[in-house]
């Protein structure tokens, strides 16, 4: 039976939460009882089916702490292989700690909990200058045999506008309220638009279709970790105070594009004025003041924080977000973001997905406390 996409998906790129309900899911939902959140259409999540949908034998990441499973020590590899892996790892830069103003008092999307603006202190850390690429993720998978959640589930969400006709024609589950997101069988990091696509011509693009756990597993293997939201936002701001974007307040200073976003009429027409209608090779746009590339645009980036829209104005030191939750925070927006639908390519902007979500516009980068 076709696995039902239980319904809820955060359009990372839609101002108003929209319920994505698979039209073919009705019968199955009823068998399983009321679908969570459907009544309120609280559709902030791309929500997978119950974990039972995953073969427990295959679900290796769930039972073993990824930090143990994928630590360098746990994987016996030749020093030559390890040297090769280091070569493909991202360069990191030191992000000096200190106080910064997190969030904004002029929220572009108030419902996202962008405010209030608050004083936050973060300690120094190192950050990947780039989003983790397909090549880097491949080197991790080669070394560890990691199987991503999208591969285990057998499908992932892909933006309709980048699918081939052949793949589109095979999709029977129409998504009612936001037809541009389609659950595609066989879509995963190796096949970003489904079985007839591949990554050999985009090894330097951000890896996509990775769940939160996949991202954590990669960073742990590399002796790194995901950034907290506060670290990510401090890094995004690049030393500027109270600005919208990593480079300032103007979207296109001097007519130049500073990020891979959407130009045109979402979701029907992407003019690709910035050079890319899908992802771009990492580091194709100018870095911010800290030397970080693609902090906004290209791929959304997972952070380690659980999602909440309520923030204290008391000064925080190294805040890590709530201790539990249902969704993880993602930052930065993607190549699908346009002001009309997804004004989320700002440092203060934020969105969320369930940790097992994966999609054709969601990736990550890692940080570490020590220099690698
Ligand atoms: C991973 O393994 C495949 C198959 O051996 C190889 O072609 C590829 O170059 C490897 N990738 C990396 C990044 O080491
Ligand atoms: Ca673009
Ligand atoms: Ca990004």
What average pLDDT does the segment 153-163 reach?
94
Residue 177 has pLDDT above 90, yes or no: no
- Residue 49 pLDDT > 60, yes or no? no
Q: 30 in a domain, yes or no?
A: no
CATH of the domain at 309: 3.90.1580.10
Mean pLDDT, residues 201-224 taken together: 98
Q: Please indicate whether residue 361, judged by its CB atom, sits closer than 6 Å to ligand 1.
A: no
Atom of ligand 1 nearest to the CA of 88: 13
User: pTM for this structure?
Assistant: 0.82
How many domains in the chain? 1
75 assigned to some structural domain: no
Which ligand approaches the C-alpha of residue 266 most closely? 2
Please tell me the number of the ligand nearest to residue 89's CA.
Answer: 1
- Domain-located, residue 16: no
- Please check whether residue 48 lies inside any domain of the structure: no
Distance, CA 268 to ligand 2 centroid (Å)? 14
| Ligand 1 contact via 77 beta carbon (within 6 Å) | no
**pLDDT tens-digit readout, 112-145:** 999 999 999 999 999 999 999 999 999 999 999 9
Handedness of CA 337, 342, 346, 349 (dihedral sign): negative
In the sheet that holds 118-122, the strands lie side by side as 98-102, 118-122, 316-317
Span from the CA of 1 to the centroid of ligand 3 (angstroms): 36
Give the DSSP letter string of 324-341.
Answer: --S-EEEES--TT--TTT
Strands 269-270 and 264-265: antiparallel
Question: By residue range, what is the domain housing residue 205?
Answer: 99-368
> Between 95 and 181, whose confidence is greater?
95
CA distance 318 to 161: 40
Nearest CA to ligand 1 atom 5: 142
Whether 89 lines ligand 1, by a CB cut-off of 6 Å, is no
**Contact 104 CB / ligand 1 (< 6 Å):** no
Residues whose CB is under 5 A from ligand 2 (ion)?
A: 260, 274, 276, 335
Residue nearest to atom 13 of ligand 1 (CA): 139
Q: How far is the CA of 35 from the centre of ligand 2 (A)?
A: 35
Residue of 214 and 4 predicted with greater confidence: 214
The mean pLDDT of the chain is: 83
Mean predicted confidence (pLDDT) in 215-229: 98
pLDDT tens digits, one per residue of 90-114 = 999 999 999 999 999 999 999 999 9
Query: Residue 171: inside a domain, yes or no?
Result: yes
Residue 219 lies in a domain: yes
The pLDDT value recorded for residue 361 is: 98
Q: What is the mean pLDDT of residues 162-186?
A: 82
- Residue 334 in this model has a pLDDT that exceeds 90: yes
pLDDT at res. 141: 98
Higher pLDDT, 21 or 159: 159
Position 302 in a domain: yes
Could you identify the atom of ligand 1 that is nearest to the CA of residue 141?
A: 1
**CA 356 to the chain's CA centroid:** 11
Q: pLDDT tens for residues 227-276?
A: 999 999 999 999 999 999 999 999 999 999 999 999 999 999 999 999 99
> In this structure, which ligand is nearest to the CA of 361?
3
Q: How confident is the model at residue 91, as a pLDDT?
A: 97
Ligand nearest to the CA of 208: 3
Residue for token pair 């829209």: 309
The response to whether residue 203 sits with its C-beta less than 6 Å from ligand 1 reads no
Q: Evaluate whether residue 254 is within a structural domain.
A: yes
Distance of alpha carbon 324 from alpha carbon 316, whole angstroms: 18
Average pLDDT rounded to a whole number, residues 34-45? 29
């Amino acid at each position: 039976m076709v696995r039902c996409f239980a319904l809820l998906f955060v359009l990372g790129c839609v101002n108003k939460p929209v319920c994505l309900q698979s039209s073919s899911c009705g019968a199955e939902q009823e068998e399983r009882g009321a679908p969570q959140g459907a009544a309120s259409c609280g559709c902030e999540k791309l929500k997978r089916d119950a974990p039972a949908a995953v073969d427990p034998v295959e679900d290796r990441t769930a039972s073993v702490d990824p930090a143990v499973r994928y630590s360098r020590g746990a994987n016996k590899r030749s020093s030559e292989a390890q040297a090769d892996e280091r070569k493909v790892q991202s360069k990191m830069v030191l992000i000096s700690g200190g106080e910064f103003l997190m969030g904004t008092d002029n929220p572009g999307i108030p419902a996202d909990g962008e405010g209030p603006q608050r004083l936050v202190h973060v300690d120094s850390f190192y950050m990947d200058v780039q989003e983790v690429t397909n090549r880097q993720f491949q080197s991790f998978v080669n070394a560890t045999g990691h199987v991503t959640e999208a591969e285990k589930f057998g499908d992932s969400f892909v933006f309709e506008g980048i699918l081939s006709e052949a793949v589109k024609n095979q999709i029977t589950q129409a998504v009612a309220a936001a037809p541009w997101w389609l659950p595609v069988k066989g879509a995963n990091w190796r096949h970003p638009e489904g079985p007839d696509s591949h990554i050999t011509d985009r090894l330097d693009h951000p890896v996509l279709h990775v769940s939160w756990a996949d991202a954590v597993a990669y960073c742990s293997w590399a002796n790194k970790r995901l950034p907290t939201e506060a670290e990510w936002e401090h890094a995004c701001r690049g030393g500027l105070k109270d600005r919208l974007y990593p480079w300032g307040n103007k979207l296109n200073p001097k007519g130049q594009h500073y990020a891979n976003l959407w130009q045109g009429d979402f979701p029907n027409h992407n003019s690709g004025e910035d050079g890319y209608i899908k992802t771009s090779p990492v580091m194709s746009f100018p870095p911010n003041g800290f030397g970080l590339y693609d902090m906004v645009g290209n791929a959304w980036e997972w952070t380690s924080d659980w999602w909440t829209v309520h923030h204290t104005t008391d000064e925080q030191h190294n805040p890590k977000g709530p201790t539990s939750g249902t969704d993880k925070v993602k930052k930065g927006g993607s190549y699908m973001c346009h002001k009309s639908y997804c004004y989320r390519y700002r440092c203060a902007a934020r969105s969320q997905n369930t940790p097992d979500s994966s999609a054709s516009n969601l990736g990550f980068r890692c940080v570490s406390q020590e220099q690698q």
